[in-house]
Structure 1
Amino acid sequence: MIRVVLVDDQALFRAGVRMLVASQPDLDVVGEAGDGREAIDVVRSTRPDVVLMDIRMPVMDGLTATTQILAEPEPPRIVMLTTFDLDEAAARAIRQGASGFLLKDADPEFLLAAIRTVNSGSSVIAASATRELFQHFAEAPKPVPDRYSALTEREREIFALAARGLSNSEIAAREYLSEATVKTHISRILTKLALRDRVQLVVFAFEHGLA
Structure 2
Amino acid sequence: MSGEETIRVLVVDDHPVFRIGMAALLRSLPGIEVVGEAADRAEALAAAAEHAPHVVLMDLDLGGDSGVETTRELCRRDPTLGVLVITMLGDDDSLFASMRAGARGFLLKGASPEEVARAVRSVANGDFLLGPQLAQRGALYLSGARTRGAQPLPELTDREREVVDLVARGYDNATIARRLVLSSKTVRNYVYGVLAKLDLPDRGQLIVRAREAGLGGEDPGTA
Say if 1:82 and 1:103, in contact at 8 Å, map to a contact too: yes
Larger displacement relative to structure 2 (36-45 or 61-70): 36-45
* Pairing of 1:132-147 with structure 2 (within 5 A): 132-141=137-146
Cα gap change, 1:121 to 1:75, in 2 (>3 Å): closer
Q: Which residue of 2 aligns with 1:34?
A: 39
Q: Where does residue 210 of structure 2 map in the other structure?
A: none
1:83 to 71, 88, 97: 88
Aligned position for 2:171 = none
Does the 8 Å contact 2:68/2:101 carry over to 1?
no
The 5 Å alignment of 1:52-201 reads 52-141=57-146
Q: Deviation per CA, 1:48-86, whole angstroms, max 9, x where unpaired?
A: 000000001123211010001110144410011121433
The yes-or-no answer on 1:5 pairing with 2:10 is yes
Regions of 4+ moved over 6 Å = none
Paired AA for residue 25 in structure 1: P
- Unaligned 5+ segments in structure 2 are 1-5, 148-223
% of aligned pairs identical? 32
User: How many residues are matched?
Assistant: 142
Distance 1:82 1:134 in 2: 20
Q: CA deviation at 1:109?
A: 1.0
- Alignment TM-score, normalising by the size of structure 1: 0.63
Secondary structure at 2:65's aligned position in 1?
A: coil
Q: Matched residues in 2 for 1:134 and 1:105: separation?
A: 21
Alignment gaps of 5+ in structure 1: 143-211
- C-alpha distance in 1 between matches for 2:75 and 2:109: 22
CA-based RMSD of the aligned residues comes to 1.6
Q: TM-score, normalised by structure 2?
A: 0.60
Deviations 1:3-53 (A, max 9, x none): 000000010001111111101230000011001222111111110000000
> Contact 1:85 / 1:128 at 8 angstroms: preserved in 2?
no
Equivalence for 1:207: none
